[in-house]
């Protein structure tokens, strides 16, 4: 199981550091329903990732993702495709980065965060955590990394719980700051939002580049063995 956790860490960190969901969480924490929406957002995020992982691992299990402890060839091909897609995303994000000192444009849906109910906040978290194409690539990569190790179903469950917890650190951190820091939280969260808004494309470009290169390298190693 230790090998599986080691393999999934880059993908979990990639999900955790996704800037837009973190910005959405910060913006929700300055609305009248801050507490309720913040909690349901984190819970919805974790639920979406947990369910997505469970589905992917269930699909991979009968497909023999591991062959005597080594990744099957289809897993290596999957890694190659995912790695190339992430490299394409990295290039796209880097080209889209704003000019120095400027903020990247925010999605229009963020203007509706003030009117979210707790249920809608949870639903939004599921969408941002799993349906978002960038995060989905990381989740599929993480599930493939777990499946290829050939560990038991019970160990896969534990490994994916670890993935879900790590992947939730980014959206959970602003909520922890909100509850722990009290009156000082507003300035801290505003600074975090500003930094994330200004650097979100660069952050995603670097993350996608690092994980994409790792996936391509793993795929080449697997296909050549």
Asked whether residue 97 carries a pLDDT value surpassing 90, the answer given is no
- The confidence score (pLDDT) of residue 68 equals 53
SS3 category, 33: coil
Q: If you average pLDDT over each of 15-29, 89-103, 107-121, which comes out highest?
A: 15-29
Share of the chain above pLDDT 70, in %: 92
Distance of CA 168 to CAs 44, 102, 194, 215, 221, Å?
A: 10, 28, 20, 22, 30
Q: What is the pLDDT at residue 125?
A: 94
Which of 13, 37, 17 has the alpha carbon at shortest distance from 112?
Answer: 37
Supply the pLDDT for residue 102.
66
Number of domains comprising the chain = 1
Average pLDDT, the chain: 86
Give the tens place of pLDDT for each residue, 44-87. Answer: 999 999 999 999 888 876 555 555 555 567 778 888 899 999 99
Enclosing domain of residue 105: 2-224
Residue 118 has pLDDT above 80, yes or no: yes
Mind listing the pLDDT tens digit for each residue in 140-163?
989 988 888 878 888 899 999 999
Closest CA to 180 of 192, 172, 170: 172
Note the pLDDT of residue 178: 92
Stated pTM of the model: 0.85
Structure tokens given for 192: 């975090």
Distance CA 200, CA 70 (A): 36
Q: Could you read off the pLDDT of 177-188 as tens digits, one per residue?
A: 999 988 788 888
């Amino acid at each position: 199981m230790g090998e599986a956790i080691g393999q999934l860490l880059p993908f979990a960190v990639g999900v955790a550091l996704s800037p837009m969901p973190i910005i959405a969480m910060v913006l929700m924490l300055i609305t009248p329903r801050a507490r309720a929406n913040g909690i349901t957002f984190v819970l919805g995020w974790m639920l979406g990732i947990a369910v997505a992982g469970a589905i992917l691992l269930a699909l991979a299990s009968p497909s023999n993702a591991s062959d005597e402890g080594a990744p099957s060839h289809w897993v290596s091909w999957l890694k190659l495709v995912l790695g190339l897609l992430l490299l394409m995303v990295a290039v796209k994000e880097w080209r889209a980065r704003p000019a120095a000192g400027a903020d990247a444009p925010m999605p229009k849906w963020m203007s509706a965060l003030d009117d979210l109910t707790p249920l809608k906040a949870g639903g939004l978290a599921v969408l941002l955590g799993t349906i978002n194409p960038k995060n989905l690539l990381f989740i599929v990569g993480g599930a493939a990394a777990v499946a290829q190790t050939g560990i038991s179903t019970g160990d896969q469950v534990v490994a994916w719980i670890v993935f879900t917890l790590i992947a939730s650190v980014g959206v959970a951190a602003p909520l922890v700051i909100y509850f722990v820091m009290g009156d000082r939280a507003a300035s801290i969260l505003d600074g975090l939002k500003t930094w994330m808004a200004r650097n979100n494309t660069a952050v995603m470009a670097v993350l996608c580049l690092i994980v994409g290169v790792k996936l391509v390298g793993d795929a080449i190693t697997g296909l050549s063995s």
